[in-house]
């Protein structure tokens, strides 16, 4: 690591626009601006292709005897070096895989170190071919939502050119977005009875890649309207919830799906039972647990030859907390009879085994004892 570096030496490095301020803590009071002792260059110049070999040159302003030049990459000393002349040292970095790294060039003399300069390294990758393109819209939507998968992270700015053409080749839309996987196309630009082709081209410093054409027409991409959960009912059952929901669609040929989660965990498919129109019961819940519910509807009448599901978007979330669970198992009860008193009364002691903690939640509030008159008459 860098040895005894003064505050002015740190300030010197921070004044260099090529180096990130995050590498050093806040400067002590009284630190002054300092001019770098030299420069640091990299070949090929950043951004570099991840996995490349890099050559780094550290040059000091003056040729002086008695000092050495070293280079640190993310705090580790680089051992592959070669002296070019009295002011310049060359270092080799092999197979650099980290997309962001920090370089510091230091000159050492008499156990003291002085920063020559620093540099942030930025690397990246060429874009993958955009795949899994999908466009969909509801009947009432003013936009067509198109999404795709962009592949592995490029680590640098990547631009996506979106082109929409009519079947005859006439271009109706050319848009450009950055580092994205979705775009909204105004529905007003699209004719209901015309076929269109969507092509996505990804481009960055290292190259470009074009998707396969995605052909669509409006009638083939319409999905059901997004449903709305109106109310959650738990009643006295902590193991199930009843969702009341509605949609502007006809319920004929619609299947409903419910998903739920707790504490922002991964979504799980609900164990659902349709009770009646607009009412679904979700089972398998835990007592005293806060759940987040969403639902969607899917059109079961549509052809599924493309293995695509024609489902609505997930509804807005509704949150509810399940109640506690009451005891459900019969208690084991015993009685102890005392002797018959002179007044004709007998003391009866009732004993019972408390319910298992697994059979209820919270605390038992009270026990109620009911006496059968017939049993009472048998005791006396």
pLDDT in tens, the chain (380 residues): 444 444 444 444 444 434 544 444 344 444 445 467 889 999 998 899 999 999 999 998 888 777 888 999 998 999 888 888 888 899 999 999 999 999 999 988 877 888 889 999 999 999 999 999 999 999 899 999 999 999 999 999 999 999 999 988 889 999 999 999 999 999 999 998 899 999 999 999 999 999 999 999 998 899 999 999 999 988 777 788 999 999 988 888 888 999 999 988 999 998 888 888 889 999 988 888 899 999 999 988 875 555 677 899 999 999 998 887 667 677 777 777 777 777 767 777 887 777 776 666 666 667 677 777 666 555 55
pLDDT at res. 29: 43
Per the rule left: phi > 0, alpha: psi between -120 and 50, beta: everything else, 151 is: left
Q: What residue has token string 């647990």?
A: 289
**Environment class of residue 40 by beta-carbon count within 10 Å: exposed (0-12), middle (13-18) or buried (19+)?**
buried
pLDDT at res. 374: 64
pLDDT at res. 359: 66
What's the rounded Cα separation, in Å, for the pair 78 and 93?
A: 8
**Which one-letter DSSP state was computed for residue 226?**
P
Q: What domains sit in the chain, N to C, each tagged with a CATH number? A: 7-124 (2.60.40.10), 131-222 (2.60.40.10), 226-321 (2.60.40.10), 333-379 (no CATH)
pLDDT at res. 254: 86
What's the rounded Cα separation, in Å, for the pair 295 and 269?
A: 10
What's the rounded Cα separation, in Å, for the pair 125 and 127?
A: 6
What's the rounded Cα separation, in Å, for the pair 65 and 47?
A: 35
Would you say 352 and 341 are in contact if contact means Cβ atoms under 8 Å apart?
no
pLDDT at res. 15: 44
Torsion angle (degrees, nearest 10) of CA 326, 329, 332, 333: 50
Is this model's pTM higher than 0.75 or not? no
């Amino acid at each position: 690591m860098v040895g005894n570096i003064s505050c002015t030496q740190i300030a010197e490095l921070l004044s260099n626009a090529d180096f990130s301020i995050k590498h050093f803590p806040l400067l002590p009071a009284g630190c002054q601006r300092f001019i770098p002792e030299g420069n640091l260059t990299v070949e090929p110049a950043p951004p570099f292709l991840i996995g490349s070999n890099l050559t780094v040159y550290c040059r000091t302003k003056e040729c002086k005897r008695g000092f050495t030049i070293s280079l640190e990459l993310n705090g580790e000393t680089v051992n592959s070096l070669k002296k070019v002349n009295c002011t310049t040292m060359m270092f080799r970095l092999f197979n650099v895989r980290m997309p962001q790294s920090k370089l510091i060039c230091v000159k050492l003399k008499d156990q003291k170190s002085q920063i020559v300069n620093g540099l942030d390294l930025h690397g990246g990758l060429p874009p993958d071919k955009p795949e899994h393109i999908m466009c969909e819209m509801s009947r009432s939507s003013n936009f067509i939502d198109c999404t795709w998968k962009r592949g592995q992270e490029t680590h640098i700015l990547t631009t996506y050119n979106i082109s929409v053409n009519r079947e005859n080749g006439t271009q109706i839309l050319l848009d450009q977005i950055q580092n994205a996987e979705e775009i909204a196309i105004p529905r007003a630009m699209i004719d209901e009875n015309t076929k269109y082709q969507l092509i996505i081209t990804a481009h960055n410093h290292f190259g470009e890649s074009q998707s396969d054409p995605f052909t669509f027409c409006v009638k083939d991409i319409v999905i059901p309207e997004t449903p709305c959960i109106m109310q959650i009912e738990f009643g006295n059952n902590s193991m199930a919830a009843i969702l009341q929901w509605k949609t502007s669609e006809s319920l004929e040929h619609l299947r409903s799906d419910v998903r739920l989660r707790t504490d922002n965990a991964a979504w799980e498919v609900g164990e659902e039972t349709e009770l009646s129109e607009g009412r679904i019961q979700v089972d398998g819940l835990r007592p005293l647990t806060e759940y987040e519910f969403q639902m969607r509807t899917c059109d079961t009448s549509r052809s599924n030859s493309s293995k695509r599901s024609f489902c609505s978007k997930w509804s807005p979330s509704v949150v509810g907390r399940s109640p506690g669970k009451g005891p459900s198992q019969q208690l084991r009860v015993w009685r102890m009879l005392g002797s018959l008193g002179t007044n004709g009364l007998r003391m009866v002691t009732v004993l019972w085994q408390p319910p298992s903690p697994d059979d209820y939640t919270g605390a038992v509030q009270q026990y109620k004892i009911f006496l059968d008159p017939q049993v009472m008459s048998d005791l006396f």
